[in-house]
Structure 1
Amino acid sequence: MISHLRLNTTKTLSEQVSLQVDSKGFEFIIINHPKFDAAFTLHGAHLIHFQVKQQAPLIYLSKTALFDDKKAIRGGVPVCWPWFGNTEESLSKKLPGHGFARTSKWAVSIIDETSDAIDLEFTLSANEVTKAIWDHDFTLTLKASLSDHVELSLITQNTGTDTFKYGGALHSYLCVADITQCTIDGLASTYSDSLDEGKQKNAEKTLPIDGPIDSIYAINEGDVIVNDANNERKIIVTNTGNDSVVVWNPWIKGAIAFADMPDDGYQTMMCIESAITSKQGVLVESGQSHTLKTVIK
């Protein structure tokens, strides 16, 4: 999934983790574990690849994704924070959609490896650049636990004196064999259809994917299950700390419109996002924290 990137190792961080760069110096954290392979970028603390040995990849990455310091990466698990989509305030101030976390440079703070798993922590703290966009003091930590599955925990800590509100998502792109042969179970019974002016609608018990979808489902009580028929597997997604689950696939017209996705890229991806999308967001008081989490297996 990432062999086309042609990376060179610049630093060994542990026995199974290295810092690598492409020809432009863009930085990647590459994990070669006996049981799985994975990759992050320091740009956005962005998981771009995860694959258990001898299995199909779990995470989708666009073959034409752009890697630079300005744009979000198409695919993987972008960290949308401290807001989801475009808010009225962000639009009025011409601020970046989905916030700034996914286009900020993070630091690796912890690497802990065993024979079964690797745990990593990435951190981003308030600085002059973030305060010019969102004037709050914070420390954002992405804890990643990788084994035979992916567990991502986004911890928002308020290090300032005032309460702040935030929204966002772990915008997970799942890799599937053929989207037309996939169905989804476990979603809530109602959703807001972003392709139809946000109208509230009743959901099907089992959702087939046969066209573009951009829907915000009410929070579900159990797992969301993607039936990836042509890979003969079920992808199970468990979310906590969220107020909704976003289901998204741009379909052919959407894929064609993206410069960083092949025209047929929509055929092998499905987004199931652990999200905070309500206008109320999550209030985090001074000295307190909140965790948004997704487990994919």
Structure 2
Amino acid sequence: MAHTLTESTLHGLPVLRIETPLCTAALSLHGGQLLSFVPAGAGEVLWVSPLATGAPAAIRGGVPVCWPYFGRENQPSNVPQHGFARNTRWTLEAPREDADGNLHLGLSLPGHPGTPLRLRQILILGTGLQQALTTHNPSERTLSLTQALHSYFAVGDARQVHIEGLDGLDYDDKYSGQTLTQRGHWHLSDPRDPGRSDRIYHAAGGHYVLHDPVLDRRLRITTTGSHAVVVWNPGQAGAQGMADVPDAHWPAFVCVEAANAARDVVRLAPGASHTLAQAVEVLPAA
């Protein structure tokens, strides 16, 4: 086999270290959470807080799986933020390689008394990253869910990043409570609320490019199975209130989250399934 999986640590967190000729990666079974992805010849794609804690807490960084609800949407106030998938140990299936050298990893979430829905995740690791969440409804009634792949993308300086693919979209500003319209590229210096961002964009097209002039690269992000995307960075003041984000580290990431959230609710009939997916490619600066 051309790949290896070994037990290791990342910032003190237990992980499976994955090595292939095309990339390296790190995966936490707690949360079923990808914590590192480095294509051969490129830099780290994901950010993980050096202060992140592991089980039983959720891990700050990488790609947390928010499921079966996003935030606490349509839920009681006492439930865990973003659901229980990111606080549960997942089961890893036997990996396989395809003819192109990509490594396929399947993970399943154990059943939970909080929902009859079942969840499986597929990771395809190669020169790019592909990730998919498939939810199945084995019950005899229609059920609803919201969810997200809460990706923390590593950037050289969030204050210099801009994101294409959002111009003209309406978004819910979670800070102001308003619904506004994006004008031009997303950037943290937006005069309507400079220095921070917590936005759920509606009727999103699923094609975004994160331009990073400091790291001299672009991340092309393609999503399917959703009509919403979340763009989040807490800014300096917000990070100061977060115990697991060092004060100086808030400019080191921008979250671009493939999501079914807010207006974009998935309703699954009995026996039906739904897949939310993203693909991430690292490209040179334009």
Identify whether the pair has TM-score above 0.5, normalized to the shorter chain: yes
- 1:125, distance to aligned residue in structure 2 (A): 3.2
Query: Alpha-carbon deviations, 1:207-233, whole Å to 9, x = none?
Result: 222311001111322511111111111
Separation in structure 2 between the aligned mates of residue 99 and residue 251 of structure 1, nearest angstrom:
24
1:1-297 alignment to 2 at 5 Å? 16-20=3-7, 22=9, 27-67=14-54, 69-91=55-77, 94-114=78-98, 116-126=101-111, 130-131=112-113, 134=114, 136-189=115-168, 190-197=170-177, 199-210=178-189, 211-278=195-262, 281-297=265-281
Show structure 2 runs of 5+ residues with no match: 190-194, 282-286
SS of aligned partner of 2:239:
helix
More helix by share: 1
Separation in structure 2 between the aligned mates of residue 35 and residue 279 of structure 1, nearest angstrom:
38
SS of aligned partner of 1:231:
coil
Query: Alpha-carbon deviations, 1:213-258, whole Å to 9, x = none?
Result: 0011113225111111111111111111112100000111122221
Q: Quick check: 1:188–1:219 contact (8 Å CA) kept in 2? A: no
Counterpart residue type for residue 234 of structure 2: P
Separation in structure 1 between the aligned mates of residue 74 and residue 271 of structure 2, nearest angstrom:
28
Counterpart residue type for residue 33 of structure 1: T
**Identity percentage over the alignment?**
31
Moved over 6 A (4+): none
- Residues 209 and 26 of structure 1, relative CA distance in 2, 3 Å threshold: closer
Counterpart residue type for residue 3 of structure 2: Q
Q: Quick check: 2:227–2:264 contact (8 Å CA) kept in 1? A: no
Query: Alpha-carbon deviations, 1:82-133, whole Å to 9, x = none?
Result: 0000135331xx110101011111000231125621110000131xxx21xx
Show structure 1 runs of 5+ residues with no match: 1-13
- Residues 26 and 265 of structure 1, relative CA distance in 2, 3 Å threshold: closer
Separation in structure 2 between the aligned mates of residue 57 and residue 21 of structure 1, nearest angstrom:
17
- Residues 183 and 38 of structure 1, relative CA distance in 2, 3 Å threshold: same
Counterpart residue type for residue 84 of structure 1: F
